[in-house]
Amino acid sequence: MPDFPKFVQINEEGPREGFQIEKGPIPTERKVELIDALSETGLSQIQTVSFVNPARVPGWADAEEVVRRFRRKPGVRYTALWLNDKGFRRALAVGDLHLRGSISLTASEKFLLRNQQRTLQQNYEAQHGMIRLFLENGVPVDRGSIMAAFGCNFQGEVPIATVVDMVGQILDLGRQHGQEIRTVSLADTMAWATPESIKRVVGAVRERYPDLTLALHLHDTRGMGIANAYAGLQMGVAIYDSTVAGLGGCPFAAHKGAAGNVCTEDLVFMLHEMGIETGIDLDKLIECALLAEDIVGHPLPGSVKMGGSLRALREKLKAA
Amino acid sequence: MPDFPKFVQINEEGPREGFQIEKGPIPTERKVELIDALSETGLSQIQTVSFVNPARVPGWADAEEVVRRFRRKPGVRYTALWLNDKGFRRALAVGDLHLRGSISLTASEKFLLRNQQRTLQQNYEAQHGMIRLFLENGVPVDRGSIMAAFGCNFQGEVPIATVVDMVGQILDLGRQHGQEIRTVSLADTMAWATPESIKRVVGAVRERYPDLTLALHLHDTRGMGIANAYAGLQMGVAIYDSTVAGLGGCPFAAHKGAAGNVCTEDLVFMLHEMGIETGIDLDKLIECALLAEDIVGHPLPGSVKMGGSLRALREKLKAA
């Protein structure tokens, strides 16, 4: 038997991912409604909004307003996304968010050029400025992430050595600013991973950096999300990003309507059925998934919200 | 590294499963169109129709007509489903199908009572009549299956010992009629399985019957289909039933529209990316999945048909 983690930390990213891709417009109060419902599920971290250019991402023009309005549940970390200094300053200005600095590299230069108009080197250099900005504002930098770590629609395969090197770059960037990076998240941004490549990449990084905590950000665009999470569990990975109902979609897939992030309630279902704790109430999470569908007004990809949890069934059977 | 099979046999069940659950009506020629398209993908086995009571399953009232009309591709086994002697006689009468006798037990008595109005004992006894009927008509009986082998919406957990015992009953039933059962398929009929329970049940059956070939019939109703197939591969299982685009649905799920069988093209995607051969052209299969959606007139659950294959992407990148 593999040595599965006893507890898995789920970082819920549904609101941020979902409302940025939906054509909308989705009323601010409905975004707040979903975040408030998620707060009651036992989730300990919820990425709420994205501070991005409203001209490019109109779905998050109301990011500040959402942050001002959602209810704070004690014990929940409410986070936000930003892509540059301007976004970070907005997050800082609105206040009352859990801000953590992260060093963000990307394993595919073609993707980086396309997505952020930067070379690998330019992106590496740009991190210095971001780290300084975080530290000047009292935001610790203890985390890194590598996008496109398992392959790229625009470059193809990503060598494992590139990912391992990039983890080293993240640790080194932190060190240069006196920060110890404890966690690095590997993102399968364009859904190239399979369970075996998850194991190869995680294994190679862990062999080189055995004390580093690894997290996985998985996408389900090619249907591998849950199997990849299972492979991650087999490797002992205990931190996963996911989105309720599979909110999010994928702008890089072959067809419109392709799935995006791995679905939180499907992941939690697997974890609980395997005896791994999450602190989350699956049935409440399923209600949030159905609420998310109601808010976006079209079916979302998750399965358990349609198939039903087994806890509900078991209780019905016990009562019968 | 686990000892993965080098080749996996896929039994495509999309037409039979899909057209039986769809409200329809779906014209006969469109059913034939899907079967003909599937014949061109490299699939070696396609379950085409279901010979069931047309009053209860109107979607298969035209089973004979479909069998008469689809094109036979050399090298493809075209199979059909029946639930009783009447159905088998219809399959026999229409002719030109690949008929194989199977001993079909069910691990949950509550499901059996509900689904076939039989006790475990009555179902066991009924197999004698079916085996005799197969043999009288020159149809060999070399296969068995166990429905609800991983849990049941109406009974709850299914003890592993029950499944192991039932495999013994199948082998014994065969022996009583001079037939050697070489393959037993374990069906997760109501989607209770997780990767770990797949491993436990497959492991227990294999320990008791090491020479028996095991097959898996997996459902994706709670999103575990592909992860469960991966667990099966880790256990060396090399035969899987699945449906193109995830055609089929699940009549036992909590909500209408829940997923049914695990999706063929998602499974084939994983296999190919893991270096396991299937003999199937994934891109042609994806075209069949899109055709299936067009035929049923609503979105179907599979992911790769929306996300796109990596072979197509890799070729585009190579050409660029």
- Which of B200, B216, B224 to mutate: most A Cβ within 10 Å? B224
pLDDT for B170 equals: 98
User: Inter-chain contact A317–B155, Cβ cutoff 8 Å?
Assistant: yes
Q: Find the CB nearest A226 among B227, B253, B273.
A: B227
User: Residue B50: in which H helix or E strand, if any?
Assistant: strand B45-51
**Does any domain span residue B93?**
yes
The rounded distance, in Å, linking the Cα atoms of A9 and A44 is 8
The rounded distance, in Å, linking the Cα atoms of B307 and B310 is 9
User: Do A188 and A286 belong together in one domain?
Assistant: no
User: Inter-chain contact A195–B270, Cβ cutoff 8 Å?
Assistant: yes
Measured between beta carbons, which residues in chain A are less than 8 angstroms from residue B151?
Answer: 310
**Does any domain span residue B27?**
yes
**Does any domain span residue A227?**
no
pLDDT for B2 equals: 59
- The CB density around residue B13, as the number of other CB atoms within 10 Å, is 25
Last-in-domain residue among B213, B240, B256: B213
**Does any domain span residue B248?**
no
In CATH, what number is assigned to the domain containing residue A267? 3.20.20.70
Cα B204 vs. chain centroid, distance in angstroms?
A: 22
Extract the tokens encoding B137: 């008509």
Helical packing angle, B310-319 and B264-273, nearest 10°: 50
User: Do A75 and A157 belong together in one domain?
Assistant: no
- The CB density around residue B133, as the number of other CB atoms within 10 Å, is 17
User: Do B82 and B124 belong together in one domain?
Assistant: no
Q: Give the nearest chain B residue to A267 (CA atoms).
A: B223
Q: Where do the H-state alpha helices sit in B74-219?
A: 85-94, 109-116, 120-136, 160-176, 195-208
Q: Pick the closest to residue B225 from B257, B253, B264 (CA basis).
A: B264
Determine which one of A152, A250, A263, A288 is catalytic.
A250
> Which are the contacts of A182, defined by CB distance < 8 A and separation ≥ 6?
A142, A143, A212, A213
Q: Is B186 helix (H, G, I), strand (E, B) or coil?
A: strand
**Does any domain span residue A231?**
no
User: Do B86 and B106 belong together in one domain?
Assistant: no
Q: Give the nearest chain B residue to A311 (CA atoms).
A: B156
Q: Find the CB nearest A227 among B226, B255, B301.
A: B226
pLDDT for A2 equals: 58
User: Inter-chain contact B194–A231, Cβ cutoff 8 Å?
Assistant: no
> Each residue's pLDDT tens digit in chain A (320 positions)?
458 999 999 999 999 999 988 887 899 999 999 999 999 999 999 999 999 999 999 999 999 999 999 999 999 999 999 999 999 999 999 989 999 999 999 999 999 999 889 999 999 999 999 999 999 999 999 999 999 999 999 999 999 999 999 999 999 999 999 999 999 999 999 999 999 999 999 999 999 999 999 999 999 999 999 999 999 999 999 999 999 999 998 888 778 778 889 999 999 999 999 999 999 999 999 999 999 999 999 999 999 999 999 998 999 999 88
Measured between beta carbons, which residues in chain B are less than 8 angstroms from residue A255?
Answer: 305-308
Amino acid at the residue B94:
V
User: Do B79 and B136 belong together in one domain?
Assistant: no
Looking from the CA of A45 toward its CB, the CA atoms found within 13 Å total 17
Q: Give the nearest chain B residue to A255 (CA atoms).
A: B306
User: Inter-chain contact A223–B269, Cβ cutoff 8 Å?
Assistant: yes
User: Do B68 and B128 belong together in one domain?
Assistant: no
| Segments forming the whole domain that contains residue A167 | 101-215
What is the edge-to-edge ordering of all strands in the sheet holding B183-187? Answer: B77-82, B45-51, B9-12, B239-242, B213-217, B183-187, B141-147, B101-106
User: Do A113 and A197 belong together in one domain?
Assistant: yes
> Each residue's pLDDT tens digit in chain B (320 positions)?
458 999 999 999 999 999 988 887 899 999 999 999 999 999 999 999 999 999 999 999 999 999 999 999 999 999 999 999 999 999 999 989 999 999 999 999 999 999 889 999 999 999 999 999 999 999 999 999 999 999 999 999 999 999 999 999 999 999 999 999 999 999 999 999 999 999 999 999 999 999 999 999 999 999 999 999 999 999 999 999 999 999 998 888 888 888 899 999 999 999 999 999 999 999 999 999 999 999 999 999 999 999 999 998 999 999 88
| Strand duo B213-217 + B183-187: pairing | parallel
H, E, C per residue of B237-275: CCEEEEEHHHCCCCCCCCCCCCCCECEHHHHHHHHHHCC
Distance of residue B100 Cα from the nearest chain A Cα, in angstroms:
32
User: Inter-chain contact B156–A221, Cβ cutoff 8 Å?
Assistant: no
User: Inter-chain contact A307–B266, Cβ cutoff 8 Å?
Assistant: no
User: Do B106 and B204 belong together in one domain?
Assistant: yes
> What one-character-per-residue DSSP string does B157-172 give?
---HHHHHHHHHHHHH
Determine which one of B152, B250, B263, B288 is catalytic.
B250
The rounded distance, in Å, linking the Cα atoms of A148 and A225 is 15
User: Do A8 and A61 belong together in one domain?
Assistant: yes
**Does any domain span residue B40?**
yes
User: Do A276 and A193 belong together in one domain?
Assistant: no
Is the separation of the CB atoms in B247 and B260 below 8 Å? yes
Is A250 one of the annotated active-site residues of the chain? Answer: yes
The rounded distance, in Å, linking the Cα atoms of B112 and A237 is 40
User: Do B67 and B24 belong together in one domain?
Assistant: yes
Last-in-domain residue among A169, A199, A215: A215
Q: Provide ipTM, 2 decimals.
A: 0.96
**Does any domain span residue A220?**
no
Q: Give the nearest chain A residue to B1 (CA atoms).
A: A196
User: Inter-chain contact A222–B266, Cβ cutoff 8 Å?
Assistant: yes
User: Do A80 and A113 belong together in one domain?
Assistant: no
Last-in-domain residue among B177, B192, B213: B213
Measured between beta carbons, which residues in chain A are less than 8 angstroms from residue B195?
Answer: 227, 230, 270, 274
**Does any domain span residue A107?**
yes
Measured between beta carbons, which residues in chain B are less than 8 angstroms from residue A263?
Answer: 223
pLDDT for A164 equals: 98
Q: Is B147 helix (H, G, I), strand (E, B) or coil?
A: strand
- Which of B154, B222, B243, B264 to mutate: most A Cβ within 10 Å? B222
Cα A106 vs. chain centroid, distance in angstroms?
A: 15
Angle at CA A251, nearest 5°, toward A248 and A254? 120
Q: Give the nearest chain B residue to A258 (CA atoms).
A: B306
User: Inter-chain contact A303–B156, Cβ cutoff 8 Å?
Assistant: no
Distance of residue B221 Cα from the nearest chain A Cα, in angstroms:
5
Is the separation of the CB atoms in B166 and B184 below 8 Å? no
Q: Find the CB nearest A306 among B255, B307, B317.
A: B255
pLDDT for B1 equals: 45
Measured between beta carbons, which residues in chain A are less than 8 angstroms from residue B220?
Answer: 303
Q: Is B199 helix (H, G, I), strand (E, B) or coil?
A: helix
Measured between beta carbons, which residues in chain A are less than 8 angstroms from residue B221?
Answer: 303, 306-307
Measured between beta carbons, which residues in chain B are less than 8 angstroms from residue A301?
Answer: 303
User: Inter-chain contact B226–A231, Cβ cutoff 8 Å?
Assistant: no
The total domain count for chain B is 2
Find where tokens 């199977």 sit: B102
